[in-house]
Structure 1
């Protein structure tokens, strides 16, 4: 099912190198541009797009190729992604020849190993349908289906573009993979949003949802749950029949609010959290995967400012010795700038997550970085932060922090006396404190009930409308 071929080269694929790669199909193929020139397409004699060559990306963050492809490539390197159409048998060999020619000129390697060639590929294509494009394998009135077979499905720039186009057209995005594939955290978040879906092709049941386990069937132009006679979905045996992992993930989700002034630098709260929990700053940041830029709060601030008032979605990744990944959404509001951050860290079977550092982190964020709320939770899941198509335990709350502005709004007396057996710790200056509520050790499901009662109490504060 492999449809993607990627050239990882130490030198930038310049115009002449790209032209050499594009001649892999001989003189009979046409060249077209798409996505405002960011994508070059090789088209067959009948006009069908066969191969799309994405704009090369300079990756300066260590271990990104290892994280996403399983190939260890020293940085910096150029990531050039070539996607072959599934409709023409020769297209995949053509993609391999494009990458092989780039490697011959620039050095480096190709993923998957053995895909690269340098010969001319003879192509005989049928005319393209009106919506023919190599980014889409099946297109219906309701759904865009893409077949992917790579170690980790990541939220690449290409996939982000497909998602935006799909959403604008009012369609669902469904990604079909073999059962050994995993999702990166951003890809998981994207496919968990209705109406999108991760479809796993399983030899036992046919197809099932990789996040819910529901057995699926192709119905009316989309993958939908196969219902029983009682109208209920069934769960695939391959999804539920797994041994729970002994590894864990620590999840710290928090919001910060800042005045919108010219001196504001975003990303500092995320960096403080990263340093507190790992001992180092993030390794890199970007707008998609692979994460390609060295960590720089100033540069990400400039990007968010340029995009304002539209929101900016960013990602950050840690160093190879400590799996860590964050998503960050910057929003311009009527009162300032909001950062919505989710930092996830992975720990092996014999490693202990630094839960003792959470209260200190909450105090620092509340005092110096405009903390609004912070929820910390723990879950049993892969320490490499990827999601397999198997049943996973939900996160269990460990603690909740309410920032000083919200405490002041609802009243300190009310906030300090929730109707549960939880007594908050006061953080920061006594005149305007934050409150940190311990909810457990991250192993008891009852913490969810405690959190629900706590948040209901906060929302029911006299004189507030929430």
Structure 2
């Protein structure tokens, strides 16, 4: 199957999007393709060569739509771009996921000397006329970069100047469904000044309020030291975050997903606010976290507004002493408190 630069083909019950772009993003053209697939009742399939990456924003949108990202190699075989599992693609668009990782996923020498941070955070607000969303996004962006976001939009690149009040007016009360927005943060001041925070802001409307859920990715020149996660956790706690989790990513630009193995993310910290901790024994939870493999814990605030921060080992030696894989420990603690795993 030869890939043109960018085109679409109906394959059975899926609309297949072929792209050779170095980074495939959720742009205007791709947004129209998604609407076309939804209108025609088709699933979505993105097929790229091994030289293409997907923006994390596009991959998150694709996940929400139940779509697949396949990588097509020179020999015509396929694998999942995110996990590397080999895939048999049928003529009807069906994708049989196999257990074995594809050799293209396991290629050596692809990692770059760069990396950064992935942070997820969530706040729950009361559903009142004056409730405003965007404050958590601002707090997280400021904690990671020192400034507020630059802009937002429904697609990439974003076109609207950042304005939390405008976002609130347009989406938080009148939209019946969850809303996904792209957010661009300020330049981080790294080499050349061209490394930017990227984020996805999700507005949800459960019965008990309005949820602001943020996923942010930012490149860093160096790995986090012990003080930085504590500082970020304190800033988010002051904002009233319900929960947040930070992970370090190495081997490439953290704002995109490459179609090859770069290693597992390394959990840096996890935190819970008073709303998530309601009815729980914080001291017992801190002990549980350390039993699961956390390196240390810290109380945030005091009294009814107390939160808990959990920090994980950042070295192989520390992880070995903890006796558990930090990623499994982080997910296990999240599941214990929230009752479900996060992606």
Is the alpha carbon distance of 1:335 and 1:233 closer, same or farther for their aligned partners in structure 2, counting shifts above 3 Å?
A: closer
Q: Give the TM-score taking structure 2 as reference length.
A: 0.82
RCO higher in structure (CA 8 A, sep ≥6)? 2
1:251-280 CA-partner distances (Å, limit 9, x unpaired): 110110112223333212211221222122
Contact 1:399 1:440 survives alignment (8 Å):
no
Alignment of structure 1 residues 318-329 onto 2, 5 Å: 318-320=185-187, 321=193, 322-329=195-202
Is the alpha carbon distance of 1:260 and 1:301 closer, same or farther for their aligned partners in structure 2, counting shifts above 3 Å?
A: same
Q: Give the TM-score taking structure 1 as reference length.
A: 0.62
Give yes or no for the alignment of 1:284 onto 2:151: yes
Determine the structure 1 residue equivalent to 2:51.
180
Determine the structure 2 residue equivalent to 1:332.
205
Q: Following the alignment from structure 1 to structure 2, what is the Cα–Cα distance between the partners of residues 274 and 358?
A: 14
Q: Following the alignment from structure 1 to structure 2, what is the Cα–Cα distance between the partners of residues 315 and 386?
A: 14
Contact 1:420 1:454 survives alignment (8 Å):
no
RMSD of aligned alpha carbons? 2.8
Q: Following the alignment from structure 1 to structure 2, what is the Cα–Cα distance between the partners of residues 294 and 188?
A: 24
From 194, 208, 218, the equivalent of 1:345 is 218
Determine the structure 2 residue equivalent to 1:436.
309
Shift of 1:206: 3.5
1:227-258 CA-partner distances (Å, limit 9, x unpaired): xxxxx544332221122333222111011011
From 446, 463, 466, the equivalent of 2:325 is 446
Give yes or no for the alignment of 1:156 onto 2:27: yes
Secondary structure class of the residue paired with 2:277:
helix
1:358-403 CA-partner distances (Å, limit 9, x unpaired): 3233233223x33111111112132362222212322221111111
Is the alpha carbon distance of 1:382 and 1:223 closer, same or farther for their aligned partners in structure 2, counting shifts above 3 Å?
A: farther
Q: Following the alignment from structure 2 to structure 1, what is the Cα–Cα distance between the partners of residues 88 and 289?
A: 47
Secondary structure class of the residue paired with 2:330:
helix
Determine the structure 2 residue equivalent to 1:426.
299
Determine the structure 2 residue equivalent to 1:147.
18
Contact 2:122 2:136 survives alignment (8 Å):
no
Contact 1:267 1:300 survives alignment (8 Å):
yes
Q: Following the alignment from structure 1 to structure 2, what is the Cα–Cα distance between the partners of residues 193 and 162?
A: 15
**Unpaired runs of at least 5, structure 1:** 5-85, 87-135, 227-231, 461-466
Secondary structure class of the residue paired with 1:379:
strand
Shift of 1:192: 4.6
Q: Which runs of 4+ in 1 moved over 6 A?
A: none
Shift of 1:440: 2.0
Is the alpha carbon distance of 1:323 and 1:335 closer, same or farther for their aligned partners in structure 2, counting shifts above 3 Å?
A: same
Contact 1:205 1:236 survives alignment (8 Å):
no
Q: Following the alignment from structure 1 to structure 2, what is the Cα–Cα distance between the partners of residues 208 and 456?
A: 29
Q: Following the alignment from structure 2 to structure 1, what is the Cα–Cα distance between the partners of residues 335 and 100?
A: 34
Q: Following the alignment from structure 1 to structure 2, what is the Cα–Cα distance between the partners of residues 234 and 453?
A: 26
Give yes or no for the alignment of 1:299 onto 2:166: yes
Is the alpha carbon distance of 1:355 and 1:300 closer, same or farther for their aligned partners in structure 2, counting shifts above 3 Å?
A: farther
